[in-house]
Amino acid sequence: MKHLFTAATSAGLAIATISAFTSASAKAHNSDFTASAPQAILADTHAPIGVMGDHRHKQGEWMMSYRFMRMSMKGNLRGSSDISAKEIINSLNNPFPGPEKVRVVPTRMTSDMHMLGLMYAPSDQLTLMAMFNYLDKDMQHSTYAGMSGSDKLGKFSTRSSGIGDTKVSALWGLLDQPHAKLHLNLGLSLPTGSIDETATALAPTGMRMKMRMPYAMQLGSGTYDLQPGITYNGYQGQWAWGSQYLASLRLGENDEDYSLGDKHELNAWGSYRYRDGISASLRLNYQYQDEIDGADPKIHAPVQGANPDNYGAETLNLALGVNLVGQSGLIRGHRLAIEYQAPIYQDVNGVQMDMQSMLTLGYQYAF
């Protein structure tokens, strides 16, 4: 609940702050309107910034975008219940040679993504999209001494950074009416992200050892992933709403003899437009991901993330957001957006880190 309270507070502050951004242009638009005045650009014609591939463009139109996404994790879950580090080292088996039980426990993780997007519409019905991203992941761990017991030996952190997987897609219009729009999402993820990232870890023996990092710390899937989906948008007065289904289907195994689990995602959102240039949104996000199929033989350590059985989950998230678009002068057409997302339900396979929040900031401009 504290995450939802923080999200609501953040959204309220954002609305209060950015109202000043739109007030001048809104007043000019409302009080000085003439037949030749530029048409208003509505903030709610785009979905919340955490939704990808949500809208199409008119023939010949381009759009560039930038998103910054920060995911934070802290603590661990077994299924849907919290589990302490001591419970992990006393109960979780280590399937690799060495200690019988897990001796290294992740405590915190932060993942930052910088995403550049480009959209182009060769026709009113078809919009093409490409997304390029750069990842920076940091995970902190506690190591427990020896083959058993609960004596903490020390802490260490691992980090991976670099280019992630590249996504290309086409949005094909099925319905285009003033109050309802529907399109297919047809995408492909290209394996441009590394899957052989290494780091130095503190072993239970006290030695510092170089190892290939667990799957969650790698930068890509290593496979070509088919990404089909469908998106609906509806509008009525100052209200807008929408829904989207997207999937990531792995096409075979990667070069390290495994594939990440298939992923299915559902989004449903609603928004209210306070002025032409500002709207606030509420979004529900459901995700289901299968476990990893296969295993990388070079990923082996007495830590939960090295075991493919500890991947895959079912989650339900709640997100609050604000969309803002300039109406006149130099800021006309420039969009800014923020969304804060927190889980309201998580059920993980095995033992995994506890997702805390996702913050997304975005900028978009069409020309």
For residues 324 and 332, the answer to whether their CB atoms sit within 8 Å is no
Instruction: Please give the pLDDT value at position 37.
Output: 58
1: Cβ–Cβ under 8 A, 6 or more apart, which residues?
Answer: none
Domain layout of the chain by residue ranges:
2-366
Q: Please give the CATH architecture assigned to the domain spanning 2-366.
A: Beta Barrel (2.40)
Cα distance between residue 361 and residue 338, in whole Å: 5
Main-chain phi, psi angles of 218, to 5 degrees: -75, 165
pLDDT of 1 higher than 80: no
pLDDT value, residue 343: 98
- Structure tokens belonging to residue 52: 């990808």
Mean pLDDT, the chain, rounded, equals 91
Contact 245, 336 (CB under 8 A): no
The arithmetic mean of pLDDT across residues 256-267, rounded, is 98
Tens of pLDDT, residues 49-81: 999 999 999 999 999 999 999 999 999 999 999
pLDDT tier, 21 (very low <50, low <70, confident <90, very high otherwise): very low
Widest pairwise Cα distance in the chain: 79
The dihedral region occupied by 350, where left means phi > 0, alpha psi between -120 and 50, and beta the remainder, is: left
- β-pairing verdict for 351-366 and 208-212: unpaired
Residue 28 confidence class, pLDDT cut points 50, 70, 90: very low
pTM of the model: 0.87
Q: Write out pLDDT tens, residues 74-116.
A: 999 999 999 999 999 999 999 999 999 999 999 999 999 999 9
Does the pLDDT value for residue 14 go beyond 80?
Answer: no
Tell me the torsion sign for CA atoms 277, 58, 130, 252: positive
Better pLDDT: 34 or 248: 248
For residues 346-359, give the mean pLDDT.
Answer: 98
Query: Where do the DSSP E strands lie in the chain?
Result: 62-78, 81-83, 104-120, 126-144, 152-163, 166-177, 180-190, 198-202, 208-212, 225-236, 239-250, 258-259, 263-275, 278-289, 293-294, 313-325, 334-348, 351-366
Q: Provide the pLDDT for residue 165.
A: 98
Average pLDDT of the residues in 249-276: 97
- Residue 32: pLDDT over 50: no
Is the pLDDT at 311 greater than 80, yes or no?
yes
Q: How does pLDDT run across 208-258, given as a tens digit for each residue?
A: 999 999 999 999 999 999 999 999 999 999 999 999 999 999 999 999 999
Model confidence at 25: pLDDT above 80: no
Summarize the confidence of residues 293-315 as an average pLDDT: 97
| pLDDT for the residue numbered 33 | 33
Residue percentage of the chain with pLDDT more than 90: 89
pLDDT at residue number 3:
41
pLDDT in the model for residue 38: 81
